[in-house]
Structure 1
Amino acid sequence: MRGNAHRYTAAGTGLLLVSTMVALAHPMAGEASAATAPPGAAADPPAVGAGLDWAACTDLEAPKGIELECATLPVPLDHHAGGRSAVVEIALSRVPARAEATDALLVNPGGPGSGGRFLAARTAGSLPGDLRDSYDVIGFDPRGTGASTPAVGCDPDYFTAPRPDSVPATADDERLMVKRSRTYAEACERTGGALLNHMRTTDSAHDLDAIRAALGRERIDYLGYSYGTYLGGVYATLYPERVRRLVLDSVVHPDRSWYQGNLAQSRSLEAAAGRFFDWVARHDSAYGLGDTAEEVAGRYYATREALRARPVDDRIGPTELESTFLVAAYAAQAWPFLASALADLSNDNRPARLVSAFDRMGESPDHDPSFAAYLATECTDAPWPRSWQRWRTDARGVHADAPFLGWYNIWYNAPCAFWPAEPGEWFQVDGERVENALLVHATGDGPTPVGGAYAMHRRFPEARLVIEDGGLSHGVALRGNTCVDDAVIDYLREGRLPDAGGTPDGGDLVCGARPEPEPRKPSPAPQRQAAPDPGVSLGSAPPSTSGASAGFPVIPAIGALARINR
């Protein structure tokens, strides 16, 4: 799914929530810009310890008290061509050590398709003082994303709202969506150029080692979330002797290529949505949407149907609703705000909070570069079915099991059925030669089902797995769970891992979950109403979205559907 770039976090499985989406202006096809310029002329790869020209960042803001620097690193477009290859530039960020830098911690939020430079400052701000003193924390925009050049982008109008309903009601609806997917892939062929053939995870893993070399480090420490766990696993397989510490959080299943992984993800997201509906039902006095999960789900789907007939603000239809409420399956912190938005609209025909939620969490036209980069990686990491009949059969099966996002996730990935660049074979992660690693996962993680953590654990025999039992969100490390954070900090600081074999199902350390969020009561207090009639108006949004909660948290992307990903 997608992995949101900067709004939320998700992993490369279909939905890209990646942190709050990276807003990148993408020129129309045919216009020249740095973002769409072709790869540069052939050049030798950087020498080990060649150094980087760090300077104050001009396009990133750091929290107060955090020093943030930026640089760029030229790397071969084709790492196997050596000096004969054209070059691309990787955009980097650094929070320098406050004292003498003894190690470098490279961080990745997930995706694919998400820029990651923002994560350096956020991670540094979560580290204890002694690690802040000794670590250079390094963020990077993987090739084709963010400020790295050239960047991928295909059709800036693709996400113009309202989009067609993701759930096809007729054969004509389905044909329209297939055409949209094919047309998007064709647009990528026109704009992507040679870069489309070099966007695999293995390419980014080689870039990661080029960053290590330019930093002058023999080994690196790495913290990856969501899709970043697969990137970290691939890097550790290719360069096991260059890994000092490896933390993988919200782990992608290493045995499933993206097509199969996305089908499994849709079912996992369904379970996560069920936990959201159950929470809303347990706080019926606050939201008035029903006192059972089934009732709340019914209100959600009735609202979805009403939006099909009449979008809010002429732009928020059923697909935009899904794009927004997807976040409920990624981050429990979003539940109060989303529940309030649904209650306001469903109970009182007040759309302002939904408009605010969509503007913060949904996909807008500036999502095109992240989406294009997401596809450029997932569509070429492994083969995809080329028969639409196969897709249709699987889509109908997954929708029957997982109506919350089943079709939505299918269409998010459907351009891969028509992708112009040849795919490689799924890379087999093998951690046999890695000295140590720490895996972290929440049992209620929707985008990356917990089975992926157990599977990755089996591939890293010297690793330990920390389970947040009952955890509800995607992304656990350095997020405020003392038990989890202590394990991560002890490992980063001293290489100390939890004792092996702590749980019968393959985990090593079990931590309790963080508390559920407290409900935010809509104002005025809701009154139970019947589900909205699809034929009645749900209102137009007022000019102001002042109904939004000022305190809603922005969660870094670990992968959202690229906004979030798995």
Structure 2
Amino acid sequence: MKLLVATTLAFSLLTVPAEAATAPTIAWGPCSDQVLAAGGAQCGTLDVPMDPADPSSRSITLAVSRVQHKTAVSKGTVIAVADPYTGSGYQSSLLGARMAGGDSFDWVGFARRGQTPSVPALACTPPDHFAFNRPSYIATPITEPQWTARVKNYADACAANQPSLLEHMKTVDTAADMDLIRAAVGADRVSLFAQAYGTYTAEVYASRYSSRVQRMVLDTAIDPARVWYQAGNLDQDQPMQRDLELWFDFLASQDSVYHLGTTKAAVQQVWYDQLRKVSLEPADGVIGYSEWIDLFLFTAFTRQTWELLGGAFSNWVHNGDGATLRALFSQFYLVGADNTYGTLLAQMCTDAPWPASWTQWRNDTWSVFPQARDTAWGNTWFTAPCLYWHAKPGTPVAVGGTASTLLVTESLNVVASVDSSLEVRSRFPNSALVTVPGGISFANALTGNACVDGTIATFLAAGTLPTRKPGRQPDATC
């Protein structure tokens, strides 16, 4: 690993581009986005080359926001690198308001290339890809060709709508955009606050532009050695099943509220009874097998949904309330789904090669299926457009460097395991890892855990890290 870090540092020194003779600028003004405006942010745009390797290439326009420091002197600039699965990151400049002392920094958020309101915004939109009543996720002689056609159609539609942009949606392209944002806000060095899939972007930036990073916070860090066929697909299947079943345990412990059974086994029996029921006759005419899985799988990603979706599950079982299931599904999945999903795939499908054989995909999915009955096939179909993606995959970045780095993660989150954070810790020797034992939520920093949030605040303000322990282990717990 020391050899890897040394190699990465040498590579970084060779690949950091020189500063442009004239730094780009952003004309800041009022925000039309009501959330940003209410948070006191300023908004602007920045033109960047579509192909970062060719500054003369066609320009695209990034939407950028900032919240300036409210203290007499700024402690520096923090670029927030959002999880692209949760949205564009345009509103991430507001994160500083959640942190003690956050108002002493200038916080910058940006809608990464392809994501609205940056221009052009990627749009794929096959008419039925996000529709209700999709085929069952589990592959059968009937559903497998149906899903194979659907994911191929989605990849084809993305290529038809934005063929040039798709060639420049890799993480290295976003990292280049970040460095232009850094220059445009007049910062020689910036700190990074990154969450979930956004942590890989921060890892790449800190590897390629190491001299421009002051401090880096990685919340739920992605293992750079496993992007993305493993990290964004197979590695998540069993953790998702595990955390879904933790929700079953919770429902059983609250049987006086939900009346679904007093043991996990009893709740699970009700679950599978209802899955069979909606497979034959979708709830409210639209919530079938796949929609049911998608909706209730939110409970595996964040503890905050357990009561809400527990109530929806119970109301369906006891009162036949399918309208609430439909409303929740529409709220969680259908608003902005195409742009968010398309841009996420555009990154994941091209950062590194994916298996070229559907036989391998199928066999790998069936191999994990016995331990991930409710999650394996849905996750495979979610990423399967990468099998047919038209843009060529790139070469994975050698991640590692000297950046002072704080890693935080909840030990049972499904997006990236503790071992993923330990791998990143090993590649950044000036780092420390804080875990939240038993926590299942991903990207959950700055949401009220005083220990985690205080550790982040102290680190960003003063650079203070928990004492690093020897070997491959977390350095502190919260």
Settle same-fold status: TM greater than 0.5.
Answer: yes
Q: Secondary structure at the match of 2:162?
A: helix
Counterpart check, 1:437 vs 2:392: no
Offset at residue 124 of structure 1 (A): 2.3
Q: Distance in 1 between matches of 2:53 and 2:69?
A: 34
Asked if 2 retains the 8 angstrom alpha-carbon contact of 1:152 and 1:372, the reply is: yes
What is residue 10 of structure 2 aligned with on the other side?
none
String of CA shifts for 1:33-87, please: whole Å, max 9, x gaps: xxxxxxxxxxxx97665431111111342485x31111111111111112x2111
1:499 aligns with 2:467: yes
Q: How does 1:151-550 map to 2 (within 5 A)?
A: 151-157=121-127, 158-168=129-139, 170-261=140-231, 262-361=233-332, 363-364=333-334, 366-431=336-401, 433-434=402-403, 436-501=404-469, 506-511=473-478
Task: Quickly say closer, same or farther: Cα 1:450–1:57, change in 2 above 3 A.
Answer: same
Q: In the alignment, does 2:44 pair up with 1:77? A: no
How many angstroms apart in 2 are the aligned matches of 1:73 and 1:63? 19
Say how many residue pairs are matched: 458
The one-letter code sitting in structure 1 at the alignment partner of 2:380 is I
Amino acid at match of 1:70: C
On the 8 A contact 2:24/2:46 being kept in 1, the answer is: no
Q: Which runs of 5+ in 1 are unaligned?
A: 1-44, 512-566
Mapped contact 2:65–2:110 kept (Cα < 8 A)? yes
Residues 135, 374 of structure 1: alpha-carbon distance in 2 compared, 3 angstrom cutoff: same
Stretch moving more, 209-218 or 264-273: 264-273
User: Contact conserved, 1:104 with 1:135, CA < 8 A, in 2?
Assistant: yes
**2:35 maps to 1:61:** yes
* Aligned-pair identity (%): 34
2:284 maps to a residue whose letter is: D
Q: CA RMSD in A?
A: 1.9
Amino acid at match of 1:506: Q
How far off its partner does 1:108 sit? 2.0
Deviations 1:125-172 (A, max 9, x none): 2122x430x31111111101121111111125220112221123x312
- Structure number with the bigger relative contact order (C-alpha 8 A, sep ≥ 6) is 1
CA spacing shift, 1:48–1:484, aligned 2, 3 Å: farther
CA distance in 2, matches of 1:131, 1:408: 39
Change (3 A) 1:492 1:401: same
Q: Which residue of 2 aligns with 1:25?
A: none
Render the CA deviation track for 1:104-136: whole Å, top value 9, x for unaligned. Answer: 111122125830012222x122122x430x311
Provide the rounded CA distance (Å) in 1 between the counterparts of 2:106 and 2:133: 44
| Residue 91 of structure 2: aligned partner | 118
- 1:93 counterpart SS class: strand
User: 1:105, 1:135 within 8 Å by CA — same for their partners in 2?
Assistant: yes
TM-score scaled by length of structure 2:
0.92
1:102–1:135 CA contact under 8 A, matched in 2:
yes
Check conservation: 2:126, 2:154, Cα contact below 8 A. Answer: no
Question: Taking structure 1 as reference, are residues 176 and 96 closer, same or farther at Cα in structure 2, changes over 3 Å only?
Answer: same
Q: For the residues of structure 1 that align with 2:293 and 2:93, how far apart are their CA atoms?
A: 30
Partner in structure 2 of residue 103 of structure 1 = 76
8 Å contact from structure 1 (residues 113, 373) kept in 2: no
Q: Secondary structure at the match of 2:365?
A: helix
Q: CA offset at residue 284 of structure 1? A: 1.4
Which structure: greater helix fraction? Answer: 2
Q: Cα deviation per residue 1:429-469 (whole Å; 9 max; x = unaligned)?
A: 112x32x1100001111122221111111111110101111
In the TM superposition, what is the alpha-carbon distance from 1:425 to its structure 2 partner? Answer: 1.9
Q: Which residue does 2:64 correspond to in 1?
A: 92
2:126, 2:153 within 8 Å by CA — same for their partners in 1? no
